């Protein structure tokens, strides 16, 4: 019986003896030339490429009709979408009472700080397009980002980005009441940008979409561009921390400390603003 050397983060996860610096665009595993499946952006590993890829089927030994072992259902994204829908129905049935209990208004920060996060889950009942746009954006971005970083880190990213949007409102628009998941959605934009750049992917299309959405916040009345900017920055920072500590040995220690540091920084900024 021979020993197989443990794979390092710079060695192919299927061939530990082969050094490589190419990462799978979906799961982030290091893949050598033999295991790289060309994708629209970057490369995928055989598991993430799925059984529909002939090269993946050959490398993994899967035949036609078999489910890819690396397939993943973004359950957290679906759960968040379901939560948004349930809360929205509750808003309609209570004639705005739920909205008043969960929205974020900066003067209430000191006595009801939880509103900085709960505001993410309520939307305007006067315009169905508000929840429709945010829900669609969460579906498109969430299903992709959750596959890349996993459900646990995705929850942390979403909540931190939403919190970051509220912190920006507290500092830049302290008299404005805000609702909606757009701050968290922009956090997903920022995270996807950082993750793709770290994997060597092209970001031109993503930057165009992001720029158009940012501009809308400045030209369309009633949109909190402050929350968009705050969520974008915090989402990008959170993803950067995850990428920098992505190796298996770092996830339990440095990664937790890094994410905890971001959360602490947001709390500190909130406390400082209240004291000023």
Q: Is 182 a known active-site residue? A: yes
**Reduced to 3 states, what is the DSSP secondary structure of residue 127?**
coil
Q: Which helix (H) or strand (E) holds 43?
A: strand 43-44
How far apart, in whole angstroms, are the C-alpha atoms of residue 261 and residue 259?
Answer: 5
Taking CA atoms, 261 is separated from 189, 237, 258, in Å, by 21, 11, 5
Taking CA atoms, 93 is separated from 87, 88, 103, 238, in Å, by 10, 9, 16, 36
Active-site residue identified among 53, 137, 182, 224 = 182
Active-site residue identified among 20, 228, 247, 249 = 228
Q: How many C-beta atoms lie closer than 10 Å to residue 253's C-beta? A: 10
Alpha-helical regions (H) of 181-255: 182-198, 204-219, 225-244, 248-250
Residues serving a catalytic function are: 182, 228
């Amino acid at each position: 019986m021979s020993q197989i050397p443990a794979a390092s983060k710079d060695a192919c996860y299927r061939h530990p003896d082969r050094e490589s610096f190419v990462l799978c665009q979906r799961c982030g595993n290091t893949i050598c030339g033999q295991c790289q499946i060309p994708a629209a952006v970057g490369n995928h590993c055989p598991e993430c490429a799925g059984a529909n890829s002939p090269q993946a089927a050959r490398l993994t030994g899967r035949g036609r009709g078999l489910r890819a072992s690396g397939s993943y259902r973004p359950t957290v994204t679906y759960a968040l979408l379901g939560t948004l829908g349930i809360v929205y129905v509750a808003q309609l049935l209570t004639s705005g009472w739920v909205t008043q209990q969960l929205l974020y208004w900066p003067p209430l920060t000191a006595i009801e700080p939880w509103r900085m996060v709960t505001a993410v889950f309520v939307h305007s009942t006067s315009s169905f397009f508000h929840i429709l746009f945010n829900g669609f954006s969460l579906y498109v971005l969430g299903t992709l980002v959750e596959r890349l970083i996993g459900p646990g880190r995705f929850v942390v990213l979403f909540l931190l980005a939403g919190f970051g949007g509220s912190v920006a409102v507290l500092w830049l628009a302290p008299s404005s009441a805000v609702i909606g998941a757009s701050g968290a959605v922009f956090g997903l934009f920022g995270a996807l940008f950082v993750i793709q750049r770290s994997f060597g992917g092209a970001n031109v299309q993503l930057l165009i979409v992001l720029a158009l959405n940012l501009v809308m916040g400045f030209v369309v009345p009633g949109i909190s561009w402050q929350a968009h900017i705050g969520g974008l920055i915090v989402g990008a920072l959170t993803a950067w921390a995850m990428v920098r500590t992505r190796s298996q040995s770092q996830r339990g220690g440095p990664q937790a400390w890094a994410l905890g540091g971001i959360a602490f920084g947001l709390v500190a900024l909130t406390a400082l603003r209240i004291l000023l």
